[in-house]
Structure formats: C-alpha cells, structure tokens
Amino acid sequence: MASRSPRSNPASGLSPNALGALYMVIGSLGYVVNDALVRVATEDGVDVYQAVCLRGITMAVLFAGISRARGEWITREQLTRPLLTRVAAELVATSLFFGALVHLDFANAQTILLLVPFAVTLVAALVLREAVTARHYAAVVAGFVGVLLVVQPATDGFSLWSIAVVGSAAGMTVREFATRRVPSTVPASSIALVTAGSLTVLTGVIAMFTGWNAITLKAALLILLASMCLIVGYVFTIQTVRVGDLSVSAPFRYAALIGAVVIGSLFFDEIPNALTITGCSVILLAGLYAISLERRNVAAAKLVTLHRTGL
C-alpha cells in the first residue's frame, strides 16, 4: 500500500497528519459536548432517557435520509449475529452511561469511559490471542489504576453509579469487537440507522417509566444541538482515518478528557480533587504510552515486510 503524501493540503495549508490530528480533536470534542448538552437538557426538566430518545429520533431521520439517498437499505440477510450483538451492546452501553451521567461529576463519567481502549487491548490478548507484550499489559494496568483513582471506591465520594459507567465501558468494548465481525458489505449508514432506531425505541420505553415530561423550547434546542454535535463526532472521527497516519492522530483522542474536565468545571461547577487529577494524568500517560508502543510495532512490521520483499 502506498504511503500517504506528506505534502500540505492546499485548501487548509495543513499537512495530512496535522489535518488528521485536528479532525480527531474536533470529533472527540463533538462527542463530549453532545453528552454535556444532554445533561444540561435534563437540568431543564427533561428526563435523561426522554432526551436520548428525542436525540435518537433526530439521528434516525438523518441516517434514514442518507440510506435512502444512497440506496443502502439493510436487508434481513444482513441482520447477522455480529450486527445484532453490536446493536445490543450499544443499547446497554448508552443506557447505562446516560443513566449514570446525571448522578456523577461530568468529567469523572467521561474519564471512566477511557477504560475502553485498555479493555480492548486486554480482551484482544486473552480472547483473540493477539500478540500483546509485557509493556502493553503494563499500560493496561496503569490505565485501570488511573480509573480507580478517578472512581475512588474507598472514599466517601464513591458512587455506585460509577459501576454503571464501568458497565457502559464493557458494553462499548463488546461493541468494538462485534463491529469487526460485521460483514463489510453492510453499509455504515445502515448500521447507524438500525442502532439509532433501536436506541430510540428502548429509551422511549424506559422514559415511559422514568418520566416523560413537558419539553421547553430551551430543552428542545439543547437536544437538537446535541444531535448536531453527535453528527460532528461521527463525521470527523471517520474523516480522521482518511487523512494522515492513525499513529499520529490517535493521541489526540485524549482531547475528550481535557474537554470533559473543562466543561465540568465551567458549566457544572465541578472542581476535581487531587486524586481525580492524578487519575486523569495516569490515564493520559498510559494511553499515550500504549499508542507509542503501537507505533513501534507498526514500524517494526514495515521493516520486516521491506526485508522480506527485498526492498
């Protein structure tokens, strides 16, 4: 495969790698701001599952329009076990996360979700028997230690809702592996449509029991903005893989952590304590170290390939 050109993008003046890093930052912050807007909507009297349901309706309409425009409707034959597993994992992850989000500090909930990349590495090693070195395991352990510092299970500030976010991270991990098994013939827009539709139905049912309240104009605008931010997250994280090198852009996914701390401080009056700051720092450093290990492995694999081909 030919390597990407290092030349600058003539329209932006940025190199492909710089553009990929920028896209990763924008996409990551899009997801975080989306979550923050949903939480603010709940503070205006909307039940959290009601808000997610209304956001899901917006997303379902959008993806239905995309699928129709492209003629990419999903067929019954494409509703395979991996796809259904992916959808189920997404439903569990989203339901647990938003249920906990209104009971936890915003930044803490976002930080716990950073368990996902470490959990993916661990599952890949233990279940899929992928090659994982001792250094990778060290990064995984450090990541879990960082999350424990944020959760603080031995302090008075501990909340069982933190366990719900850990469960959400587990659901996201299952989703990642199920997605790998979904046939490439299934359009991404169709997967998103099935997921959005299923999530809308589930959260709508849950909201019937938790409370379906009157919606103010402010709450409606917040939910609409949340949908737009989620679209930004989708679009820019997809664009990230299309420009530059992922080994360069991947570290910038931790912009979500910084964004969550800033948003929590500015909009939810959340001042992180020393343990939380330490935990965030440990997670950040462990994640960057894991990414650096991956970059070394990729570089080593390229050298082996060049050696074998005689180039």
Phi/psi of residue 245, nearest 5 degrees:
-110, 135
- In a 3-state reduction of DSSP, which class is residue 187? coil
pLDDT at 206: 94
- pLDDT given for residue 247 in this prediction: 58
Distance, CA of 276 to CA of 273 (rounded, Å): 5
Q: Please say if the pLDDT value at position 16 is more than 50.
A: yes
| pLDDT reported for residue 3 | 43
Q: How many residues does the chain have?
A: 311
Rounded Cα gap, residues 38 and 167, in angstroms: 20
Which whole number is the average pLDDT over 274-293? 81
> Residue 235: how many CB atoms within 10 A of its CB?
14
Q: Is the separation of the CB atoms in 211 and 45 below 8 Å?
A: no
Q: What percent of the chain has pLDDT over 70?
A: 84
Work out the pLDDT band at 7, boundaries 50, 70, 90: very low
Q: Which residue has the higher pLDDT, 20 or 163?
A: 163
Q: Residue 290's closest CA among 72, 118, 68?
A: 118
Look at 90-94, 214-218, 293-297 and tell me which has the smallest mean pLDDT.
Answer: 293-297
Check residue 242 and give its pLDDT: 66
Of 67 and 304, more confident: 67
Computed over every residue of the chain, the mean pLDDT equals: 81
CA–CA distance, 41 with 215 (Å, rounded to integer): 9
Q: 155: buried, middle or exposed (CB in 10 Å: 19+, 13-18, 0-12)?
A: exposed
How crowded is residue 40: how many other Cβ atoms within 10 Å of its Cβ?
Answer: 21
As a dihedral over the C-alpha atoms of residue 50, residue 53, residue 259, residue 233, rounded to 10 degrees, the angle is -170
Residue 2 scores a pLDDT above 50: no
Cα–Cα distance for residue pair 50/46, rounded to 1 Å: 7
Give residue 304's pLDDT.
Answer: 56
pLDDT bin (cut points 50, 70, 90) of residue 12 is low
pLDDT in tens, 288-301: 777 777 767 666 66
Calculate Rg over the CA atoms of the chain: 20
Residue 40, C-beta contacts closer than 8 angstroms, at least 6 positions apart: 222, 267
State the Cα–Cα distance between residues 262 and 270, nearest whole angstrom: 9
Residue 218 C-alpha from the chain's centroid = 26
Helix ranges (DSSP H) in the chain: 16-42, 48-70, 81-101, 106-112, 115-126, 134-151, 161-181, 188-210, 217-240, 246-249, 255-267, 274-309
Residue 125, pLDDT score: 77
Instruction: Mention every residue, 6+ apart, whose C-beta is less than 8 A from residue 59.
Output: 192, 196, 200, 227, 230, 231
The C-alpha angle 168, 273, 94, rounded to 5 degrees, equals 15
* In the predicted structure, residue 260 carries a pLDDT above the cut 80: yes
Q: Which residue has the tokens 């390597």?
A: 3
More confident residue, 276 or 84: 84
pTM: 0.79
Mean pLDDT of 66-87: 82
- Per-residue pLDDT tens over the stretch 99-148: 999 998 898 888 888 888 788 778 877 777 777 778 878 888 888 888 88
